[in-house]
Amino acid sequence: MKIAIAQMNPIIGDFKYNVGKIKKFANKAKENSYDLIVFPELAISGYPPRDFLEKKDFVDTNLACLDKLISSVHGIGVICGFVDKNPREEGNSLYNAAVLFEDGKKLHQTHKRLLPTYDIFDEARYFEPGREVKSYPYKGRKIGITICEDIWNDKDIFRTRFYHTDPVPLIIEDGADLLINISASPFHLGKKELRWNILGAISKKYNVPLVYANQVGGNDSVLFDGTSVAFDAHGNMAARAYDFEEDIVFFDTESSEGVVHEVTDSDTESVLKALIMGTRDYVTKCGFSKVVIGLSGGIDSALTAYIAVKALGPENVLTVFMPSRYTSRENFEDTEKLAENLGTELMQIPIDGMFKEFLKFLSPEFEENEPGITEQNIQARIRGTILMGLSNKHGHLVLSTGNKSEMAIGYCTLYGDMNGGLSVISDVPKTVVYDISRFINAEKEYIPKRIIEKAPSAELKPEQTDQDDLPPYEVLDIILKGYVEDLKSVDELAEMGFDKKLVADIISKVHRNEYKRYQAAPGLKVTSKAFGYGRRYPLAQRYRPDCL
Catalytic site residue from 30, 112, 285, 525:
112
The answer to the question of whether 301 is labelled as a binding residue is yes
The answer to the question of whether 257 is labelled as a binding residue is no
The answer to the question of whether 423 is labelled as a binding residue is no
The answer to the question of whether 197 is labelled as a binding residue is no
Tell me how far apart the alpha carbons of residues 264 and 242 are, in angstroms, rounded to a whole number. Answer: 8
Catalytic, 2? Answer: no
Catalytic, 148? Answer: yes
Tell me how far apart the alpha carbons of residues 426 and 371 are, in angstroms, rounded to a whole number. Answer: 29
Which DSSP state fits 464? -
Question: In terms of Cα–Cα distance, which of 105, 109, 47 is closest to 84?
Answer: 109
Q: Give the full edge-to-edge strand order of the sheet including 105-111.
A: 105-111, 94-102, 77-85, 36-38, 2-7, 247-252
Measured from the Cβ of residue 494, the count of other Cβ atoms closer than 10 Å reads 17
Which DSSP state fits 44? T
From the CA atom positions of the chain, what is the Rg in Å? 26
The three-class DSSP label of residue 294 is: strand
Which DSSP state fits 74? -
The answer to the question of whether 75 is labelled as a binding residue is no
Catalytic, 41? Answer: yes
Helix (H) or strand (E) holding 307, with range, is helix 299-312
Catalytic site residue from 148, 310, 337, 412:
148
The answer to the question of whether 118 is labelled as a binding residue is yes
The answer to the question of whether 255 is labelled as a binding residue is no
DSSP structure string for 78-143: EEEEEEEE--SSSS-SEEEEEEEEETTEEEEEEE------STT--GGGTBPPP-----EEETTEEE
Catalytic site residue from 2, 41, 102, 404:
41
The answer to the question of whether 406 is labelled as a binding residue is yes
Which DSSP state fits 502? H
The answer to the question of whether 106 is labelled as a binding residue is no
The answer to the question of whether 516 is labelled as a binding residue is yes
The answer to the question of whether 289 is labelled as a binding residue is no
Pick out the residues of the known binding site. 118, 185, 191, 294-301, 377, 401, 406, 516
Residues annotated within the binding site for deamido-NAD(+) are 377, 406, 516
List the catalytic residues.
Answer: 41, 112, 148
Q: Which residue ranges are tagged as binding site for L-glutamine?
A: 118, 185, 191
Which amino acids are annotated as binding site for ATP, given as ranges?
294-301, 401
